[in-house]
Each structure stands twice: as C-alpha cells, then as structure tokens.
Amino acid sequence: MCSLAVDLVFPDEVDRQKFHERLDQFAAADKFTQQVIRLDGDTLRFESESFLPPRLVSERPSLFFVVGNPAPESIARRSMYAFEGNGARQHRFWKVLHMTGVLRFSEDDPDMHSPEAKMNRLFAGQYGSPFNLHIVPFFSLPSPPGGPWSGVAGLRRLFGKQFPVIMQMELALVKGLLETRLRHGDSVLISQKDAYMAIKPDAAPDYNPRAARTAALKSWHGDADVTLACIPPTRLFYSTAIRSILTSLVEQATSNAK
C-alpha cells in the first residue's frame, strides 16, 4: 500500500479542497479505481504494482521497462497487464515479449495462460529470459482506463498545478532504483514522454512522438554505459520500432552470454 500526504502537496486549504473534489470524480470514473484508492483524512492511500527480480543473475544484463502508470483493473486482479480493449482480450504486452524472446512463460502462446497464471509464474521465476527483467511505473498512482481521467494526462489533471511536485517525488524514487541496480551493459526502455524527459541525460535527444513511433530514441545514461531508449507506449507494442529494439537487445544479450 502506497500513501501520499495530500496536505504536504496542497498546503493551501482551498487548493486541497479542490483536489478532494477532483479526486471524487477521478475515483468515480471506474469501478476498479474505487477499489484500489481511498482518501483517509489528508492521506491518499492506494495500491500500485511493479516487478523487480528478487535476485540479479550476474550473467544476465538487466532490462528495465519504465512505463507510465498502472491500470486499476490489473492491480485489482493482481495481474500486471491483464486485459485491454475493455476486457475483450489479454494484454499485448506479454505476447510481444514472447514474440521477441524477451520473456516466455512457456513455448505456448502466452494467451494460453490466464493473467493470474502469468503472475504466478512471473513471481515464482518460472519463465525464460536472457535478462533480469524489471517493470516499473514512473507514476505509482493508477488512473482510470478511459475518459478525461485516463493515463498520465488524468494524473496531470488531478494534481493540477502541483503535478510537478508529484513528478519530482516519483523521479526521486525511480532514479534511486536505477542508481542502485544499473550495471554496465544494462538497458532502460521508457514508454512515457514525461518519464523520458525526466530521466534522460541532458545530452540525450528530447522526446519526439513521431521518432518514437518509428525508431527508438537512443542515448547513454551517465557513466554506466547503459542504453536508454524512448519507445512507443504499450498500446503500440505491435509496432516495428518496438519489435526491432527488443529483438536487437535479445540478440545482443544472447550473443554476449556465449
């Protein structure tokens, strides 16, 4: 369970009351959002999700997916990237990881496994991968899947002028994780523009949506000789850009392991 001190983010009482009103609309937009967030006085309590391998295999490079923010349904179901299309189909995220060889729960189509079964295998280490795989949301607070409160844009609307405060809080957490875990030869793939602009080195190219949809924007991160790339969001994971960079990273990791 995560928590946010609302009175510290909104020290002005009038601004804080307006936030409470927006939060009511935010939570009411989706039944799953109501299940995973609640306001307890001036403390916003909410559930989030991420995946960090319990131990790093020294022979494998780490691959970090830094994504926007979680989906409330996935959190409620305890199944990261469970469904898409209003629940009509299992999420493409795991299928693309399977297709490119980044992660495979088995040789079967990943949709043969339910979202719950995927998570059981993931957290039990029952999968094949040439990487120490990490999946980390830049923004920990989930938001409704559609409408005016969806995605990171919904968080920006929710927090209003204090959104930069939230950005700095989240940046400190993600940078702390990267600085702790990054090693020579690792890769960080960022699929959300605010996250990319916050994490990237000053010399790296700025976010360009057209470029990100056709070819990942690559740069180096600090002195650790780490590949950092801006990639399209998960809704575009079937794109050539995504499959190309993932396949390239797999080939590189496999070659280095020989």
Instruction: Let me know whether 120 and 218 are in one domain.
Output: yes
Per DSSP, 221 falls in state E
Asked if pLDDT for residue 239 goes beyond 70, the answer is: yes
Is 76 inside a domain boundary?
yes
Q: Is 42 left (phi over 0), alpha (psi -120 to 50) or beta?
A: alpha
| CA proximity to 160, closest of 171, 144, 149, 172 | 149
Token pair listed for 73: 């349904």
Residues 112, 164, single domain; the answer is yes
What are the Cα distances from residue 55, in Å, to 51, 125, 181?
A: 12, 10, 11
62 residue type, one letter: S
Same domain? 79 vs 136 = yes
94 belongs to a structural domain: yes
Whether 186 has a pLDDT exceeding 80, the answer reads yes
196 assigned to some structural domain: yes
23, 73: one domain: no
b vs e for 18-31, b when ≥16 Cβ sit within 10 Å of the residue's Cβ?
Answer: ebeeebeebbebbe
Q: Is residue 185 part of a domain?
A: yes
Mean pLDDT of the chain: 89
Query: Does residue 54 fall inside a structural domain?
Result: no
Per-residue confidence band for 150, with pLDDT thresholds at 50, 70 and 90 = very high
Q: Helices (DSSP H) in 160-234: which residue ranges?
A: 163-181, 193-199, 209-214
Q: What is the mean pLDDT of residues 152-164?
A: 96
37 with 93, same domain?
no
Query: Beta strands 83-84 and 89-90: pairing type?
Result: antiparallel
Percent of the chain with pLDDT over 70: 92
Q: How many domains does the chain have?
A: 2
In a domain, 52, yes or no: no
Same domain as 140, residue 21: no
Residue 68: inside a domain: yes
- By residue range, what is the domain housing residue 118? 62-257
Q: Kindly state whether residues 94 and 157 are assigned to the same domain.
A: yes
Bridge partners for 217 per DSSP:
230
The sign of the dihedral angle between the CA atoms of 144, 147, 152, 156 is negative
pLDDT at residue 17 in the model: 95
Structure tokens at 197: 């602009």
Supply the angle between the helices 13-28 and 151-159 in degrees, to the nearest 10.
150
Given a cut of 70, whether residue 236 has pLDDT beyond it is yes
What is the percent of the chain where pLDDT is above 90?
60
Q: What is the Cα 181 distance to its own chain's centre?
A: 17
Beta bridge partners of 228: 188, 219
Mean pLDDT of 233-238: 86
* Predicted local confidence at residue 143, as pLDDT: 95
Answer yes or no: are the C-beta atoms of 189 and 178 closer than 8 Å: no
| Same domain membership, residue 180 and residue 250 | yes
Neighbouring residues of 202: CB distance < 8 A, sequence distance ≥ 6: none
The verdict on 72 and 23 lying in the same domain is: no
The pLDDT of residue 221: 54
Place 33 in a pLDDT band, splitting at 50, 70 and 90. Answer: very high
56 in any annotated domain: no
Q: What pLDDT does 231 receive?
A: 87
Q: Which of 27-41, 97-111, 175-189, 225-239 has the lowest mean pLDDT?
A: 225-239
Are 154 and 227 contained in the same domain?
A: yes
Residues 97 and 222 in one domain: yes
Whether 116 and 37 share a structural domain: no
**Three-state DSSP class for 109?**
coil
Please indicate, yes or no, whether the overall pTM of this predicted structure exceeds 0.85. Answer: yes
Report which of 189, 52, 63 is spatially closest to residue 125, judged by C-alpha positions: 52
The pLDDT assigned to 23 comes to: 96
Mean pLDDT of 37-50: 94
Residue 68 belongs to domain with CATH number:
3.40.470.10
The arithmetic mean of pLDDT across residues 228-257, rounded, is: 86
